[in-house]
């Protein structure tokens, strides 16, 4: 019997969620995703610290911001040497509420990739799914720059991203699970909230059925998993981005798995289309405490790690 990881590949495109390209080499995913937290973790390891030093030496007169962008590109290049598909590179989270700033930074990242000989078809620019980020993606997609909309916690965000014709969205399964578990406190019963009943799994399933019901082409990539149960409960999702430890766990199990999400099932569901403008988007997102809180928390966390990367670059200069 093939491993669960190889069985999963029959239904879903497997993506590695890491900046560790040596672990990517082991598990052979199709694509890979990175974010500031993952890059920060990687450059503090002896294996990858030389990339940081090399970047600083190569661009001695560039600003810290520019050095950070070059560091992201170096990681992206290394990852693309290993995966056959695409890599996601994130725009600085400090621009999450700056549409024009996001557009300019995204174009700069693409320019750096192209100068390095990487075709833009292999790059997804990651942008937080705020209203401002979604509008930046709308323009970037029109200019041929593909976007991965991250920090998705609600159908409202997913529909707005689809309206903007974003290439891909990343709904965060584990962080949704975390919020509901924390809210429930001592009332939480793990067995009652596992598999298809997991609140993060339910959120992604809802988005999946909406997209397939209305023929939306934007790809759905489940992200932020806490355990393999969440992953297997979303077998059939367009893509799933998985951390190295969970990729390893799936590769060591051979219990049979089945497809859970199916496009044909979506057609049988009664789903009303959601029509959004800015006011409606902001109001409906505000009405979802979990989505509002986790989006804000996620941006803060990515900003904090971007600032730590800045500090690391500056201290390494000395």
Q: Which residues are catalytic?
A: 126
Q: Could you say which DSSP state residue 156 is in? A: H
* 8 Å CB contact between 14 and 256: no
Q: Could you say which DSSP state residue 30 is in? A: S
| Strand, coil or helix: 222 | strand
- Judge residue 283's burial from the number of C-beta atoms within 10 Å of its C-beta, 0-12 exposed, 13-18 middle, 19 or more buried: exposed
Token readout for 18 is 């890491």
Handedness of CA 44, 50, 54, 57 (dihedral sign): positive
d(CA 24, CA 27): 5
Those residues with Cβ within 8 angstroms of residue 296's Cβ, 6 or more apart along the chain or in another chain: none
* 8 Å CB contact between 76 and 118: yes
């Amino acid at each position: 019997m093939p491993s669960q990881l190889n069985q999963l590949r029959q239904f879903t495109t497997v993506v590695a969620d890491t900046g560790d390209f040596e672990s990517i080499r082991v598990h052979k995913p199709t694509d890979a995703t990175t974010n500031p937290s993952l890059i920060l973790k990687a450059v503090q390891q002896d294996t990858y610290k030389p990339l940081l030093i090399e970047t600083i030496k190569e661009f001695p007169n560039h600003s810290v911001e520019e050095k950070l962008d070059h560091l992201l590109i170096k990681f992206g290049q290394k990852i693309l040497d290993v995966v056959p598909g695409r890599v996601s590179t994130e725009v600085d989270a400090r621009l999450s509420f700056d549409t024009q700033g996001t557009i300019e930074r995204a174009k700069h990242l693409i320019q750096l990739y192209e100068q390095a000989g990487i075709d833009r078809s292999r790059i997804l620019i990651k942008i937080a799914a705020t209203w401002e980020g979604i509008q930046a993606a709308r323009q970037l997609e029109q200019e041929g720059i593909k976007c991965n909309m991250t920090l998705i916690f609600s159908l409202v965000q997913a529909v707005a991203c689809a309206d903007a014709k974003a290439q891909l969205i990343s709904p965060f399964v584990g962080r949704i699970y975390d919020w509901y578990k924390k809210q429930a406190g001592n009332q939480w019963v793990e067995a009652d909230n596992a598999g298809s009943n997991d609140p993060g799994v339910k959120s992604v399933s809802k988005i999946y059925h909406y997209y397939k019901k209305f023929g939306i082409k934007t790809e759905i990539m489940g992200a932020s998993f806490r355990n393999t149960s969440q992953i297997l409960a979303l077998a059939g999702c367009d893509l799933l981005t998985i951390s190295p430890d969970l990729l390893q766990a799936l590769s060591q199990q051979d219990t049979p798995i089945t497809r859970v999400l199916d496009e044909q099932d979506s057609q049988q569901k009664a789903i009303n289309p959601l029509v959004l403008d800015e006011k409606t988007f902001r109001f409906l997102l505000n009405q979802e405490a979990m989505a509002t809180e986790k989006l804000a928390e996620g941006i803060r966390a990515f900003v904090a790690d971007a600032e730590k990367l800045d500090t690391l670059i500056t201290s390494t200069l000395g």
